[in-house]
Structures are given as C-alpha cells and as structure tokens.
Amino acid sequence: MKITEYIKNSQGKTLFSIEILPPLKGKSIHSIFNGIDPLMEFKPAFVDVTYHREEYVIRRRNDGTSEKISTKKRPGTVAICAAIMNKYKVEAVPHIICGGFGKEETENALIDLHFLGIDNILALRGDSLKTETTFQPEPDGNHNALELVQQITNMNNGVYLDLELTNPFPTSFCTGVAGYPEKHFEAVSDASDLNFLKRKVDAGAEYIVTQMFFNNQKYFDFVKKCREIGINVPIIPGLKPITNKKQLEILPQIFYTEIPQDLVNSINKATTDQAVKDAGIEWTIMQSKELKAAGVPVLHYYTMGLSEATRRIASDVF
Ligand code: FAD
C-alpha cells in the first residue's frame, strides 16, 4: 500500500517509521532483523532501507602498476526490502539514487521493485564520490532527483525508455523525495532549494522526508515556506537521537544541521557514555512529543542500525 494511503487512513494520528542501513558486506541479514525486531511492537507504518553507492580504491600492485577496485560496503537494499516485507508484512521503502546508475539501469531496477510488489520509493540524487568535488552523474544517468522522479512518473504513466514497447505496463510507485529544513548544502539559497523541491513534487513526488534536525522550529518554518509556495504533500520529519559526544561535531559536518546550544550543553555535561545517550534520547523524546502535538503525519527515526535508542523513544512517544 502507498505511504500516502497509510497517512490518509491514519486520520490525523501520527504514525511511526524507521530507516535502517543494509548490513556491512559479509554480515548476515540477521543483524538487520535483530535491529527491527525490538521496534515491531510500535507497528512501524514503513521501514526505509538506504542505498549505498559503489566507491573505488586504487590498489598498488607489486610491479608498481595500479588497479582500480570497486568497493561496495553495504549492498543488498532491494533484497533486504523484499525480506522485510516477507518477514514482517510491513511496507519497505528502498532508497533509489541517481549516482552510479544509467537511466536504463534505473529502469531495470524499478522493474525489479515493481515485480517484487514494492509500492514505495524514496528518490534521491545521492552524494558525490569521495574522489569528486561535485556530483557527477553517469553519462546516460539522471542528473538530480527531479530527473529521477520524472523517470518514475513516466513509468507510472506506462512510458518506458524504449518508446516502441507495445502496451507497456504502468507501474504505480508512490515516490517520496528528500527535503532540507536547513537547506541542502549545495543550494545557493533557501528559495532556490525550495523551488527545486517544488519541482520534484510537481513532477510526481507524493511526500517529503526531511533531513535530520534538532531544532523543531526549523521544521515548522520549513513546512510554512513549503506551503506558501504551493507544496501541499505530507512532510515527514526525520529525527535522530545523539548517542555519543563525537556526533556533536560529526553530524553538523555530514548533514549540515545545527545543534542547539541547550542540547550541546546537556550532552557535554554528561560524564558517562550512558548519560550521554540518555541526554540525546531525552532531547529526541521532547522533539517527538512537540511534533506529534503539532500533528505531523509520521515521525521517522534514523536508527543507523541501532534499535535501543529508537525503542526507548518510541516507548515514550507512541
Ligand atoms: P536533489 O533534489 O537532486 O538536490 C541536490 C542539490 O541540487 C540541491 O542543492 C538542490 O537545491 C539542487 N538542485 C536540485 N534540482 C536542481 C536542478 N534542476 N538544477 C540545479 N540544481 C538543482 N544518500 C544516499 O546516497 N543514499 C541514501 O539512501 C540516502 N537517503 C537519504 C534520505 C533522506 C531522507 C535524506 C534527506 C537524504 C538521503 N541521502 C541519501 C542523501 C542525499 O542523497 C544527499 O543529500 C544528496 O546530496 C542530495 O540528494 P537529493 O535527492 O536531495 O538531491
């Protein structure tokens, strides 16, 4: 079932959802199940599974020459989605990215998802490779999430890349896209970022999931600005509890999000690892309760594969 239908059917009640990462290569799928099991009692409406692009390393041979070796640390997004749907009878949402994919490969991946009965997708551009200064699409690939949404919408309308296919079957994906309450780091201004977001929605995106934020006011302002320019789809807040002191430095660097001074102070005041976790979880509970009271459609938690913190939050909020 489509995420938008879950939201509609919930009749204003805030739903619970989670995002997980595929296991590191060589690890068993049971590590995923072990992370989901403790959260199932809170009845997640859906489980997002991130997609991790191939990276390359240069390996020097003994003879002095070098070879480029592909490394993919977390393969298996689509298979994990199918396994989750099969085991838990819950919607799984694969993240699909532009980076590393030609349009033909994207089309084939979408056909696989359609055959597996996966109805929902989160369409993303993906980040540039560590070796690139700016995002480089494949020569025949989508340049940004807008083009990817357009490709999915075309397939939903029965338009595949090969225009000569006879009576191609229309897919029926419900497509979500990313939104940034604190602006995407590459966007020149809030206004241009919002305009691109509006174009993704106009192209067929039916809901938005936000980047993590620690100050609810940023989310409320973002939603207001979206509504002002005619973005009327559900905007799902993404939340992550801080669970160690290093994250105070790392999260703003990776996700371009500001951490409020009050949260920094309470994390810094904590003297044990457990006290740090408690402070981070308390903050996310406070955020969650305020967002829920404001009537957000879903509270979406970035679990990063660790269920304990999300479990404590969900026990208090749902
Ligand atoms: P886009 O919407 O394409 O935007 C990228 C930038 O280009 C923005 O600055 C935007 O303003 C600008 N822009 C957009 N359209 C145009 C245009 N037509 N012309 C010029 N500029 C334009 N990454 C992963 O690799 N795997 C994941 O699983 C993953 N999951 C994520 C889940 C969520 C909820 C979020 C918020 C992010 C996720 N990311 C993931 C990270 C994401 O891929 C990066 O933030 C990436 O840099 C941007 O992706 P996007 O889809 O927002 O890009």
The domains found in the chain, sorted by start residue, are 3-317 (3.20.20.220)
* pLDDT given at position 185: 96
Of the pLDDT bands very low, low, confident and very high (cuts 50, 70, 90), residue 138 is very high
Range with the poorest average pLDDT among 4-13, 64-73, 172-181: 64-73
Averaged pLDDT, 7-11: 97
* pLDDT given at position 306: 85
- Between the CA of 186 and the centroid of ligand 1 the distance, in Å, is 9
Of the pLDDT bands very low, low, confident and very high (cuts 50, 70, 90), residue 66 is confident
The answer, yes or no, to whether any atom of ligand 1 lies below 6 A from the CB of 305, is no
Task: Give how far Cα 14 sits from Cα of 35, 47, 248, 282, Å.
Answer: 22, 15, 28, 19
**pLDDT tens across 177-212, in order?**
999 999 999 999 999 999 999 999 999 999 999 999
Range with the poorest average pLDDT among 60-64, 95-99, 187-191, 195-199: 60-64
Distance CA 299, CA 199 (A): 24
The number of the ligand 1 atom at minimal distance from the alpha carbon of 95 is 28
pTM: 0.96
- Between the CA of 19 and the centroid of ligand 1 the distance, in Å, is 17
Averaged pLDDT, 3-10: 98
The answer, yes or no, to whether any atom of ligand 1 lies below 6 A from the CB of 257, is no
Distance CA 35, CA 88 (A): 13
Range with the poorest average pLDDT among 54-68, 147-161, 169-183, 199-213: 54-68
Do the Cβ atoms of 124 and 106 come closer than 8 Å?
no
Distance CA 78, CA 281 (A): 30
Res 12 pLDDT > 90: yes
Q: Which residues contact 23 (CB under 8 A, 6 or more apart)?
A: 29, 31, 32, 74, 76, 305
- Between the CA of 255 and the centroid of ligand 1 the distance, in Å, is 11
Distance CA 168, CA 106 (A): 16
Query: Kind and range of the H or E element at 113?
Result: helix 103-115
* pLDDT given at position 65: 86
* pLDDT given at position 77: 96
* pLDDT given at position 90: 98
More confident residue, 252 or 56: 252
Residue with CA nearest ligand 1 atom 24 = 126
Q: Hey, is 264 helix, strand or coil?
A: helix
The answer, yes or no, to whether any atom of ligand 1 lies below 6 A from the CB of 197, is no
Distance CA 59, CA 67 (A): 5
